[in-house]
Amino acid sequence: MLQVSYIRDNREKVLERLAVKNFKQPELVDEIIQMDNDRRQTQNRLDNISAEANSAAKQIGELMRKGKKDEAEAIKAKTGAWKEEIKTLGDALNTLENNLNQKVVLLPNLPHASVPKGLTPEDNEVVLENGVKPNLPADAIPHWELAAKYNLIDFELGVKITGAGFPVYKNKGAKLQRALINYFIDEAEKAGYKEVSVPLMVNEASGFGTSQLPDKEGQMYFVGLDNLYLIPTAEVPITNLYRDVILKADELPIRNCGHTPCFRREAGSYGAHVRGLNRLHQFDKVEIVTIAHPDESYDILEKMSAHVQGLLQKLGLPYRVLRLCGGDMGFGSALTYDMETWSAAQQRWLEVSSVSNFETFQSNRLKLRFRNAEGKTQLAHTLNGSALALPRIVATLLENNQTERGIKIPEVLVPYTKFEWID
């Protein structure tokens, strides 16, 4: 959520930046400024009357104590009108604030200066490409066929017990999951991220804090009886650990990592591109989250990106890094890098990670602050990224590493899987 004071002071810049994100309602900006003026005016009137009423109440108290009842009664007689006006103005202020908030929440974050203009994924900027795309034999098959051939994943069984998009992993397929999770966590810890294990359901306040709510209810599973949401990503609970917290400057940056399953309704998805592991309702992911000083957050974003790339390199997967264009970026992000691996059997890039700097967009909602050099509270920056999401990694590993003998497990994973081949 943008800060109203910032919008007020930087109207032109806000409009210019929102245009990069192809924001459809630029008129909201002026509406918000106008509403904020009204709000401030009302607040001012309310404050003044409250001040009068407060001092009158004090006088009455004093007079009563001195036994000057008549004088006290005289002042009391005047308070009725104030009281009424305080009530009226208070209600008006409430309404104004609510209306204002409802509008502010509609504004996406302002994109960083380096974000390319553009509307669709085709407009994303390829930052770099790394690794060698394997030349598979002509009879190479996609991962869903490999999964069946080697009895690794049973999609139909998942449909029986839950529904489409909830696969059952079996045999070496299940072991590979566990190996990847442990490997990713170990690597994150080596890079300085402290592991946390967090709840898989969150309340509404948490959903709001990381900007899933309001508006993206439709993407999350909701447990109505208890008013809880299943997490679409560990970003939500891990970032919300620091909701309503004022940190010391020397505690920054705070780095956390965690593994969770993620639950996504993926309403509206369909077609060949969602086959197999390409798009699921439940999947496992290791997430890295950083709370950073604003001066450092972009350096840290690069480091987080480098960490993710390091994982892909060690796994021997060809990948590329995209700088998302304004139109393809998430609502709350200021700058996002997507990492995609090359799936050789499907002949397409698969997104396996997304690393973003949210600047103060989340922290303003979270009330996540730190005490700066002047001793004042200041909003921190929040960043997060997948390191990594499992299913498409599994898909790419299976497809790219298929040989006549079987599927070769990358060396770095062998200590975790305890086997070298799926055959």
Which residues in this chain contact RNA in the complex, by CB under 7 A?
Answer: 5, 40, 43, 46-48, 50-51, 53-58, 60-61, 64-65, 76, 79-80, 83, 87, 94, 246, 369, 377
Of the two residues 149 and 371, which places its CB atom closer to RNA in the complex?
371
The C-alpha atoms of residue 390 and residue 410 are separated, in whole angstroms, by 15
Sign for the CA dihedral angle at 386, 387, 391, 393 comes to positive
HSE-CB for 269 with a 13 A CA cutoff: 16
Of the two residues 53 and 185, which places its CB atom closer to RNA in the complex?
53
The C-alpha atoms of residue 75 and residue 59 are separated, in whole angstroms, by 8
Inter-CA distances, 48 with 34, 36, 244, 272, Å: 21, 18, 30, 65
Closest approach of RNA to the CB of residue 93, in Å = 10
Inter-CA distances, 134 with 128, 317, 389, Å: 18, 9, 22
Closest approach of RNA to the CB of residue 81, in Å = 11
245 Cβ neighbours under 8 A, 6+ residues apart? 367, 368, 369
Query: What are φ and ψ of residue 357, in 5° steps?
Result: -105, 125
Of the two residues 105 and 185, which places its CB atom closer to RNA in the complex?
105
Of the two residues 48 and 347, which places its CB atom closer to RNA in the complex?
48
Of the two residues 147 and 228, which places its CB atom closer to RNA in the complex?
228
CB atoms within 10 A of CB 86: 17
Place of tokens 């390199």: 313
Closest approach of RNA to the CB of residue 5, in Å = 6
**Strand, helix or coil at 348?**
strand
Closest approach of RNA to the CB of residue 306, in Å = 33
Of the two residues 24 and 65, which places its CB atom closer to RNA in the complex?
65
Closest approach of RNA to the CB of residue 12, in Å = 20
Closest approach of RNA to the CB of residue 367, in Å = 8
